[in-house]
Structure 1
């Protein structure tokens, strides 16, 4: 269902009161341990970076509301643990999700291979046939000679799977806000321009 052009519950806006529309969307962060999922989330929530961020155990929940084209989009975010022992729990977190961000570390090819597995798992087991999946090529702040996964490889995969793709850096903040903005725009609530 598209909410584009619909008035908020209780009627439309008047000349003195702007239209306020808010909808919550479940979003899950997936990927291997130490790829930067929690760091991306910390940057998005508080515009901070912490070198000594503790490893997520199980999952952590947070929310943030952003404005996009005059509409309020509330993200209900699950940051999942990347360790193998927690992998079997992931479907519980992305069940019913509107969006998923799959993160990989550009300096570690194994994390890109596993990111592809995450994407395929979400596509094959998600209860939402319209789930928006974004691939975050993280650690873009590191020098080119340290990056072992060419962005072109990720672009090919993203195109094949119909994913959003952004090169991100939780450390510098590069494209972190844009990642969430692009997801909000792609949720089908209103057209992007």
Structure 2
């Protein structure tokens, strides 16, 4: 499993970070890995499809609070579907990503939401619906209004992004971080450090790796 470390918080702080597990879910080629890479490295690469899962970490400081996001980038191919279920267990937040130029990917994101509903109670997980690839506006198949309507009807956060153009990528992750902090401070969501993965179950599902070249 590939691991990419993000930025570290300011050296002056000695505060222990709040650790949150964040999963990226969606169809293959919607840009999940590119969103993570843009957020972590502020760079864009045409990345090969993720196999199994890739793991990233990113430190953030918001309103004087230090957060560590453990970002799990799951594979979008159908054959890895069961593996993805292993990785989103114990998640604090999820980004449901679709390609605005691919209507099928929007429907797939909606199916992922139904699966999250079956796995989590409403206050257990922060979910943001992300319409990626706004750079493909001329080929758009999912309108802004469609994405916003589905998010509002299910009480999800919503944002359109472009990993390629660096449009609203950090804003999407920051919106999730703000909501995680709000819920933690209100006692609505317990902090989970070092989210566990059943390694035996993972092994039965098959080895995973990620290409980040």
Question: Could you tell me the TM-score, scaled by structure 1's length?
Answer: 0.85
* Alignment correspondent of 2:89: 95
Alignment match of 1:74 (pick from 68, 82, 89): 68
Aligned pairs, how many?
Answer: 173
Residue 48 of structure 2 is aligned to residue 50 of structure 1: no
Structure 2, unaligned runs of 5 or more:
1-11, 187-213
Question: Which of the pair has the greater relative contact order for Cα pairs under 8 Å at 6+ separation?
Answer: 2
Structure 1 residues 31-85: Cα deviation after superposition (integer angstroms, max 9, x where no partner): 000000000000001001012x121000011100111111111001110000000
> How does 1:109-188 map onto structure 2 within 5 Å?
109-126=103-120, 129-143=123-137, 145-187=138-180, 188=183
1:23 and 1:129 mapped to 2: Cα distance?
A: 17
SS at match of 1:91: helix
**Cα distance, 1:190 vs. partner?**
4.2
Structure 1 residues 77-129: Cα deviation after superposition (integer angstroms, max 9, x where no partner): 11000000001122211111000001000000000001000111111123784
1:140 and 1:77 mapped to 2: Cα distance?
A: 23
Question: Could you tell me the TM-score, scaled by structure 2's length?
Answer: 0.77
Instruction: Choose between structure 1 and 2: higher helix proportion.
Output: 2
Alignment match of 1:38 (pick from 30, 33, 37): 33
User: How large is the RMSD of aligned CA atoms in angstroms?
Assistant: 1.7
Alignment match of 1:24 (pick from 7, 16, 19): 19
**Cα distance, 1:23 vs. partner?**
0.8
Larger Cα Rg: Structure 1 or Structure 2?
1
Distance 1:175 1:190, change over 3 A: farther
